[in-house]
Structure 1
Amino acid sequence: MRWISLIATLLAPTVAVSSDAVPSADDLALMAAADVVIVGETHDNPAHHTLQASIVATLDPAALVIEMLTPDEVVKLEQDKPGYHDTWQDSGWPDYAMYLPVFTASDAPIFGAAVPREVARASYTEGVAAHFDGDVALFGLDKPLPKDQHDLRLDLQFTAHCEAMPREALGGMIEVQRLRDATLAKATLDALDAQGRPVVIITGNGHARADWGVPAFLKLVRPDLDVITIGQGEDGHPPGGRFDLIYDAPSIDRPDPCDTFK
């Protein structure tokens, strides 16, 4: 589809990384030696979640950090993980059957790192610094992005929105993305301090990318950490950004998201 080819062009990885279907023994050893392992996904691809569950089961981490859940939602999830189905299905995330195996792959405590919708909406217009629940200066959120990175992110948002919205009106999306990245990083540091290493983060590919996602915040705040970033592509097309490891899976049938703008 048109939108896939457009996004694939803009999101080409900044370094060449070979893609495999599953981790090798060397890959798993690399993960096991790390303090933090960030496993990206395309949210609606079941194969990506199967791989995540396998990695979590193999590593048996000290903690899991989950993009899709707030801390309050984690409390409810931990009470009855299979029974959380109905609550999850009302959240707007893809089918819970894909995520439950990830949540049950180990007994590690789960740390929620979702930004509530009302906070995300507010940060869209008011900026990330006004709504980050942490030390704004420590996380570098008191400073604007470098112009080249800001402009590239704006291009990506313009393409992702099918060029149907004014490019200059999408700056708020960048603020929301920064807020989510920083919130995931803060939750990860909290999990490390509370539980030790390794911590596994389950999140979208866009947050997992090393060049400006969660890893960039972790490097800024705690540069001594050993962080491994994992991206998951589809049909031989790697996710955009830089990763230490990339795995590939078949794509799924999806409607063209640009149809909503027609």
Structure 2
Amino acid sequence: MGRASANRDCAAPAARYVEMRQRRKPMRLTPLIALIWSGAAFAAPPTPATDASAHPLAGAILRVSDGAAMTPDALAGALAAADVAIIGETHDNAEHHAAQAWLTAALAPGALAFEMIGRDRENALARLRAEGASRAALGAALDWENSGWPAFDLYAPILEAAPGAVVTGALIGREASGAAMRDGAAAAGRAALGAAVARYGLDRALAAAQAQDAAAEQIDAHCGALPQDVAGRMVEAQRLRDAALADAALRGRALADDGAVVMITGNGHARTDRGAPRYLAEAAPELSVVSVMMAEVAEGRDDWRAYVTRGAEGGAVADYVWFTAAAPREDPCEAYLRARAQP
């Protein structure tokens, strides 16, 4: 999909630049967000609401295979049958996080795997959660204020929705990302994942069509301003992140005595063709994995098919799509290119 893609996960520098500028702006509480933040959803999740009610797709949940409409309860039921439920997001969209928290409460997973949390923070987080620490204490332990992610208040309700769940982290730091870009995902993965590199298939290159598609996605995510060779190196870093997410899910499942796992990540990592599901299939093909992407509705785009991300061979790369309002934000490419042009 192009630069105007409604379900971009905002992990690219262009969007992250805008997020950093907006992260402390006060947010309007839509009905869904207010419901989740109040804690009322956790005892018996009611049907959530969404902003942008004028759009025909707003609030809709569709099964991608046939376009069938689903209720939130039906989606939760479908996810409950999976060993790993991957719930995507656009990082700065509060409605996406509220929906993630709602689903997490409904699923009551044994483990939560977070893209945004480092493995080195897991023990401290587990101790504080066991002690009933405050949201502020958890955020401080994760050094969230300096992490570059949107405000912790967007993510904390997801943790609070599963108070007894094991929490594992998949965040790959700058050093590991740089090593992947320089030396490839396999070499960098040996330091980050150890012997599991072969288990996740990082020692095997992507198929040519997938590699080309992944590089094109990186160029698009960087507003067309990324050289082809740099895009290829960034794909290696993305592969390492996807494998780290799969590893976090499997570690969480083991720690939860083979309990179900909910993975919280950007839409790009949730794609079934070459995201985290690919590496889960490499390492544990016996597990059932289901992917949900969140899509932001756009005026004039009323056909749900236009929002479905497709892979190099044309197939859809998510099992379900949940449509929400778009988060208010400056055009990320305008902001990114303007920043690049400054001396």
- Per the normalisation by structure 2, the TM-score is 0.69
Report the equivalent of 1:97. 153
Matched, 1:225 2:272: no
Q: Higher relative CO (CA 8 A, sep ≥ 6), structure 1 or 2?
A: 1
Is contact 1:232-1:238 (8 Å) kept?
no
Cα pair distance change 1:100/1:142, threshold 3 Å? same
Deviation per CA, 1:227-247, whole angstroms, max 9, x where unpaired? 111110000663524111110
Counterpart of 1:124, as a letter, is: M
- After TM superposition, the structure 1 = structure 2 runs for residues 31-110 of structure 1, keeping only pairs within 5 Å, are 31-78=79-126, 79=128, 80=133, 82=135, 83-86=137-140, 87-107=143-163, 108-110=165-167
Which structure 1 residue ranges, 5 or more long, are not aligned?
9-14
Deviation per CA, 1:66-99, whole angstroms, max 9, x where unpaired? 1100122233334235123352121000111110
Is contact 1:63-1:110 (8 Å) kept?
yes
Deviation per CA, 1:24-55, whole angstroms, max 9, x where unpaired? 33322211111110000000000000000001
- After TM superposition, the structure 1 = structure 2 runs for residues 1-262 of structure 1, keeping only pairs within 5 Å, are 3-4=3-4, 18=67, 23-78=71-126, 79=128, 80=133, 82=135, 83-86=137-140, 87-107=143-163, 108-132=165-189, 133-134=193-194, 135-195=196-256, 196-235=258-297, 238=307, 240-241=309-310, 242-259=317-334, 260-262=336-338
Counterpart of 1:204, as a letter, is: G
- Once the two structures are TM-superposed, the CA of residue 16 in structure 1 deviates from its matched residue by 5.6
Q: Which moved more, 1:132-141 or 1:177-186?
A: 132-141
Cα pair distance change 1:93/1:223, threshold 3 Å? same
**Aligned residues: percent identity?**
37
Structure 2 distance, partners of 1:249, 1:197, is 29
- Once the two structures are TM-superposed, the CA of residue 7 in structure 1 deviates from its matched residue by 8.7
Counterpart of 1:248, as a letter, is: F
Look up the SS of the partner of 2:125 in the other structure.
helix
Is contact 2:5-2:307 (8 Å) kept?
no
Report the equivalent of 1:11. none
Structure 2 distance, partners of 1:16, 1:117, is 37
Cα pair distance change 1:7/1:51, threshold 3 Å? closer
Is contact 1:40-1:203 (8 Å) kept?
yes
Is contact 1:23-1:247 (8 Å) kept?
no
Cα pair distance change 1:72/1:17, threshold 3 Å? farther
RMSD: 2.2
Deviation per CA, 1:9-33, whole angstroms, max 9, x where unpaired? xxxxxx666486x843332221111
Runs of 4+ in structure 1 off by over 4 angstroms are 5-8
Deviation per CA, 1:109-165, whole angstroms, max 9, x where unpaired? 201111122111121111111121142222111111111111111111111111112
Deviation per CA, 1:185-235, whole angstroms, max 9, x where unpaired? 111111112212211100011111111111111112211111111110000
Cα pair distance change 1:3/1:150, threshold 3 Å? same
Cα pair distance change 1:257/1:58, threshold 3 Å? same
Q: Which moved more, 1:42-51 or 1:29-38?
A: 29-38
Cα pair distance change 1:56/1:165, threshold 3 Å? same
Cα pair distance change 1:7/1:251, threshold 3 Å? closer
Look up the SS of the partner of 1:231 in the other structure.
strand
Structure 2 distance, partners of 1:206, 1:62, is 24
Q: Which moved more, 1:182-191 or 1:129-138?
A: 129-138
Look up the SS of the partner of 1:122 in the other structure.
helix
Cα pair distance change 1:19/1:125, threshold 3 Å? farther
Structure 2 distance, partners of 1:200, 1:238, is 23
